């Protein structure tokens, strides 16, 4: 079975441009997470989706960041007016979502974003 | 809020030698504990996890970890390291009790392991 996939694998953009990062979770997984891995901040949680519930956006660093999940599957993370400090690897993870505490999260390979 | 500390940023070990990676957490109760490995250019792969019960947990690739409540630690060990174990290792904590919040993971800063031939 396929794992979590993310696209693009690499994205280079200019400061001020908007970018969209895509995540395809494992089929049947209802929980989806976005994390950011950067040199200065390490690995940090961004946002969490569970089924049709309202997402937990508590980790989004600013209102330039948003995410949606269509049809309970694919998710898109959008960064508006990108800044150089947004440069990082963006990781997506999914889990079964049957029980929030014990689910194992499976990670995708990440999207490396470079803002020039 | 929970936090995770991995005191060692880099560790160099000879192939065949034993390895121990330290992880200390801060949380008001017993958290859920995880170790992930990230090889160059790869995503994070789960090595093992602890939720409850036996405090010595066996994982994949010959790794094990021991939960010590008194020390707030969850150190990862491997008796004999292989060159393929060169990677970055992350300890993570999940906080039970927040049903609406899923299992957000808080990660330590990571330990990069170099394996000498």
Average pLDDT for chain B: 89
Classify residue A63 by burial, with Cβ atoms within 10 Å: 0-12, 13-18, 19+.
Answer: exposed
User: How many CB pairs below 8 Å do chains A and B form together?
Assistant: 66
- B interface test, pick of A25, A35, A43, A50 with most B CB neighbours within 10 Å: A43
| Token output for B77 | 């060990």
Q: How confident is the model at residue B99 (pLDDT cuts 50, 70, 90)?
A: very low
ω into A8 cis (within 30 of 0): yes
Asked if the model's pLDDT at residue A101 lies above 80, the reply is: no
Give per-residue pLDDT as tens, A35-93. Answer: 999 987 788 999 999 888 888 888 999 999 999 998 879 999 999 999 999 999 999 99
Question: DSSP letter at B100?
Answer: G
Compute the nearest-CA separation of A66 from chain B (Å). Answer: 17
Q: How confident is the model at residue B100 (pLDDT cuts 50, 70, 90)?
A: very low
> What's residue A53's pLDDT?
83
Q: B106–A45: do the CB atoms touch at under 8 Å?
A: yes
Q: How confident is the model at residue B94 (pLDDT cuts 50, 70, 90)?
A: confident
Phi-psi region of B9 (alpha: psi -120 to 50; beta: other; left: phi over 0): alpha
Give per-residue pLDDT as tens, B10-67. Answer: 999 999 999 999 999 988 777 889 999 998 877 899 999 998 888 999 999 999 999 9
Q: In chain B, positions 32-61, which contact chain A (CB-CB < 8 Å)?
A: 32, 36, 41-46, 49, 51
Span A10-22, average pLDDT: 97
- Cα distance between residue A14 and residue A6, in whole Å: 21
> What's residue B13's pLDDT?
97
Asked if the model's pLDDT at residue A100 lies above 60, the reply is: no
Q: A45–B105: do the CB atoms touch at under 8 Å?
A: yes
> What's residue B98's pLDDT?
47
Compute the nearest-CA separation of B2 from chain A (Å). Answer: 13
The segment with the largest mean pLDDT, out of A9-13, A40-44, B1-5, is A9-13
Look up tokens 């929030």; give the residue: A100
> What's residue B108's pLDDT?
94
Q: How far is CA B114 from CA A57, B33, B54, in A?
A: 36, 24, 30
- Cα distance between residue B18 and residue B27, in whole Å: 29
């Amino acid at each position: 079975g396929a794992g979590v996939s993310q696209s693009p694998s690499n994205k280079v953009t200019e400061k001020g441009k908007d970018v969209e990062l895509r995540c395809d979770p494992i089929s049947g997984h209802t929980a989806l997470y976005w994390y950011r891995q950067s040199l200065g901040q390490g690995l940090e949680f961004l946002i969490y989706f569970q089924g049709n519930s309202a997402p937990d956006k508590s980790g989004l660093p600013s209102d330039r960041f948003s995410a949606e999940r269509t049809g309970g599957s694919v998710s898109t993370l959008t960064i508006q007016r990108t800044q150089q400090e947004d440069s990082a690897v963006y990781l997506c993870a999914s889990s079964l979502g049957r029980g929030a505490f014990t689910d194992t999260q499976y990670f995708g390979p990440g999207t490396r974003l470079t803002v020039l | 809020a929970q936090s995770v500390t991995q005191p060692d940023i880099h560790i160099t070990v000879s192939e065949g030698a034993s390895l121990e990676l330290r992880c200390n957490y801060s949380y008001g109760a017993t958290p859920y504990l995880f170790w992930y490995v990230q090889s160059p250019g790869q995503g994070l792969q789960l090595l093992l996890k602890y939720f409850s019960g036996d405090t010595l947990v066996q994982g994949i690739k010959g790794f094990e970890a021991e939960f010590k409540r008194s020390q707030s630690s969850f150190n990862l060990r491997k008796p004999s390291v292989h060159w393929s174990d060169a990677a970055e290792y992350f300890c993570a904590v999940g906080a039970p009790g927040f049903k609406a919040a899923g299992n957000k993971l808080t990660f330590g800063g990571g330990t990069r392991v170099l394996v000498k031939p």
